[in-house]
Structure 1
Amino acid sequence: MPSNGSSNKFKVACVGRAFGPEAEAIIRDVAPAEFDLTFSVETGEAAHPLVHESDFILVTMPVTEKLIQESPKLRLVHKWGIGVDKIDLEGAERQGVPVAITAGSNAGAVAEHTLLLILGALRRISLADRSMRAGEWIYTELRPLCRKLSGKKVGILGFGNIGKNVAQRLQGFEVEIIYHDPYRASEEVEKKLNARYVSFDDLMAESDILTLHCPGGEANHHIINARSLARMKRGSVLVNCARGDVVDEQAMVAALNSGQLLSAGLDAFEPEPLPASSKLLAMDNVVLTPHTAGSVLDNVAPVALHAFRNMQRVINGEPIPRSDLVVVPSKPRQFAGSDAGAQRA
């Protein structure tokens, strides 16, 4: 039975900027009958009372150990999407609360956006659009700045669900695909995706276009920095649909100004939102989007259903799929009428 006692439904707080009115309507439409949903676009203290009273949270906001500790009914922290760099994972472990993601649920959308940014950066689509809106016709001026995708070597840093989806979508573009990841893909997958495994240094040195799909956080903090950018071919292209902290922005701006990088397509920044003082905003060789690679309306229902199914697994004492579990507490919280089976998965 629900832990809130006074209700026959489980309380779910959906908190963060991902939940606008259109998305909220879809999520409510697909929500299981046993869930009572509350939404907030707040990401700070104003959202905390909703979390404190909830059995489950579905979030894009930061989640601290203090917030978890002050939410005694909380059974599961569920991320909308896959990035958990804003969730205190060690704190969740100490509080006995599992953390889950919707693994693979937005991989297709992010992969499509990656192709958009690759092509947009190669063809200077932002500059072309802005100049036309300003009444200009820079046909001759654009030619020296633009490049085609076919015939290029595309490097993928991070070969999980999204990286593989990018490789799959590149198949028709007549490119060579190389990748680096801590875990090499099987020979079968490499053959299917025409992808070749290389070292990190070789990825930097060989790529004409480098697209990032690795996790953020301490392990990959500024993995793209002055040193790694210097190893890249002069006139190469950088695309980031991962996390802002994997790129040293100052070093990237210097590489864009010097011509070491021809252009960049960026969907993730450090910090976010991108501050008005960022030099990137004034650069014609950069295509910018506000961390929207996975934000498409027709993917809302699948992501929501994915998360709700994991919540139902917790209620029923069933295991959450290992691909979705980020934190499995060694001493999970116990609730009346539940054997916490999902937390032991």
Structure 2
Amino acid sequence: MTEATLFTPKITPDFDDTSAETRLDSHALDADSDDSMDGDTVAAEQSMPTKSAELQKLQKKLRRQVSWAIRDFNMIEDGDVVMVCVSGGKDSYTLLDILLLLKRIAPINFDIVAVNLDQKQPGYPEDILPAYLNEQGIAHYILEKDTYSIVKSVVPEGKTYCSACSRLRRGSLYGFAKQIGATKIALGHHRDDMLATFFLNLFHGGTLKSMPPKLLSDDKQNLLIRPLAYVEEKDIIEYARLKAFPIIPCNLCGSQTNLQRAIINDMLREWDDAHPQRLASIFKAMQNVAPSQLADRELFDFEQLSLDRDDSERMFEGDNIQAGQTDSLAEIGLPVSPKTQTFNPRFASDKPSSANTDQASENPRPAQKIPTINPVL
């Protein structure tokens, strides 16, 4: 089986999820006939089949999108140990949940370990994430390191913490992945994160770059993957709600206002509301780069561009050419009376062109308006 199809063959529409929501579904159906239940309980139970159906439909969509991303970028291979970085937010919970589903049905063998970095933020609920991971039976590590104090000490007052916090967190996780022998590091960044990073770099960094779906670290010691690359944030929000993940907010970043990323995210949401296909088009553009149509001299060799004309002559297609300052034209060796040829006969006027006088006189045509054509530059 080729690497390109690793995650597609066994992902079928009739996948049977035996999650807690599915098991509760059958209980709800049985409870409808129980007269001893009060009205609120019966109503709650009756809503469970709908919730379960919504969950399964959305889960199937996310599973398909994640499997496509894994296939397209060869993110996971047979024998991989995938370290899933779990922060306690909706994105990393969703990533971990979908990867565990795929592990059960994928035609290759790979292992998953969840890793959380406890950065010792004040008020951080240390028990929530370990309790969830233990309840789900997920192998995991909780790394404790006071990066919070470091960030607070090195970032000037009024500046955002995100960059310094991210670097410290990334360094710790990269080193730990190598320590335990993890072959891939899975991050929970989704499509909208990638778009936001693109515009942050465009507006504030002067570069055309974003978060790639797959990345080799600068020291070449770790491979990063982003399996949620094709997933929209609004689907993750809904999935987290239906799954009732125990979300842990980031108080360190959330306490700061006017973050540029937040402003960009608001802009993207407004675009998505007004023009539902715009974000999809932008993301598609990120996968369809034309270096010769940009201006990066390192990416494309503009200096070596040269003409490669043949001997065929192509005359101007139109009615007439007016030449001015003919002496100057002749002086530099240019024709003073260039010939013309008839434009598309459909739009030919009743005035014959200089190159087709006889033919035009035999077949006069009424003048018609030539449509405006906007060339692609």
The structure that has the greater radius of gyration is 2
- TM interval, short-chain normalised: under 0.3
TM-score computed with the length of structure 1 as normaliser: 0.28
TM-score computed with the length of structure 2 as normaliser: 0.26
